[in-house]
Structure 1
Amino acid sequence: MIGVLLVSHSKLAHGMKTAVEFVAGEQENLFSIGLEEAGIASFRTELKSLVERLSKDIRQLIIVCDIPAGSPGTNAYDVFAQTDLEIEMLSGMNLAMLLEILLMREGKEFQQLIADGIKAGKESVDHMDFSDEDADEEF
């Protein structure tokens, strides 16, 4: 079974979890932890508590963080690297990425799920041009 952990600065991870579950319903083995003003020590305590609570059925974990090399991601990776789980970490958390990963995790191999999640995340980033060039034309 594949677990997904969202980590971020402040409440972004919690908000993304809420958004995913708004769109796709409650998700089993989806977790969120935010680095709050209480600091790194408190954040790491939450991570270690999650390690203890994880289902023994989870063999692989995808950690999705907000920005590359940020404290939430690097600390989460550090804590979970000390477990027996197979871990992958992605940055650039967005809703398209998370939906792809979460809704397809039952039917895909772990590494393919990672690749498809990254692809979905990248493809969802675009410049939306709503300018109406013909706005001044008369009918």
Structure 2
Amino acid sequence: MVSVLLVTHSPLANALSEAARWILGREFEDFHALDLDPAASPQEHLSELERTLSRLDGEQVLILTDLFGGTPHNLALTQLEPGRVEVVSGANLPMMLALDGLRKECSTVAELAPAIAKKGRHAVVDAGGSLKRHRHEFGTGEIPALDP
């Protein structure tokens, strides 16, 4: 199984992983959340990232980061080794919820990285726009009922 490291601006990594654990009712396997302390230096962050990566079990690692171009993402890119260590930015809760299932479906990090990125993109929805389309299509001003 591909190991996963979630590295973000503090406190997002632990908040996302805790929310996912709460919803799923279980811990993630071979997963670590790393919040970067704003008071630490980039070199301290890099050392912590390298130490954390060395503790993961898998030969292949997916690093999820919160913001493309942000410090966590830029530091993660220093560890990029295509086919062994891949980096995906834009981590969100739906990605976390899909993580275990996708790790079972995808045998390599090269397969997992685009699959988890796709899940994250598809989870971003303009709810107001969807409601407007529904109203236009069905000619109703009512908010559609959710299935129980």
TM-score after normalising by structure 1: 0.79
Counterpart-to-counterpart distance in 1, 2:6 and 2:21 = 13
- Which moves more between the two structures, 91-100 or 38-47? 38-47
Shift of 1:87: 0.9
Counterpart-to-counterpart distance in 2, 1:62 and 1:126 = 25
Aligned to 2:53: 51
Residues 80, 86 of structure 2: 8 Å contact kept = no
Cα gap change, 1:35 to 1:128, in 2 (>3 Å): same
Counterpart-to-counterpart distance in 1, 2:20 and 2:75 = 24
Give the unaligned 5+ runs of structure 1.
Answer: none
Give the unaligned 5+ runs of structure 2.
Answer: 133-139, 144-148
Aligned to 1:105: 103
Cα gap change, 1:52 to 1:128, in 2 (>3 Å): same
Aligned to 2:8: 8
SS at match of 1:122: helix
SS at match of 1:27: coil
Query: Among the aligned pairs, what percent are the same residue?
Result: 28
SS at match of 1:106: helix
Letter in 2 for 1:123: H
Aligned to 1:34: 35
User: Map of 1:1-139 to 2, 5 A cutoff?
Assistant: 1-24=1-24, 25-39=26-40, 40-55=42-57, 58-78=58-78, 80-81=79-80, 86-110=84-108, 111-129=110-128, 133=141
SS at match of 1:28: coil
TM-score after normalising by structure 2: 0.75
Task: Report how many residues are paired.
Answer: 131
Residues 17, 30 of structure 1: 8 Å contact kept = no
Letter in 2 for 1:93: A
Q: CA RMSD in A?
A: 2.5
Shift of 1:30: 1.0
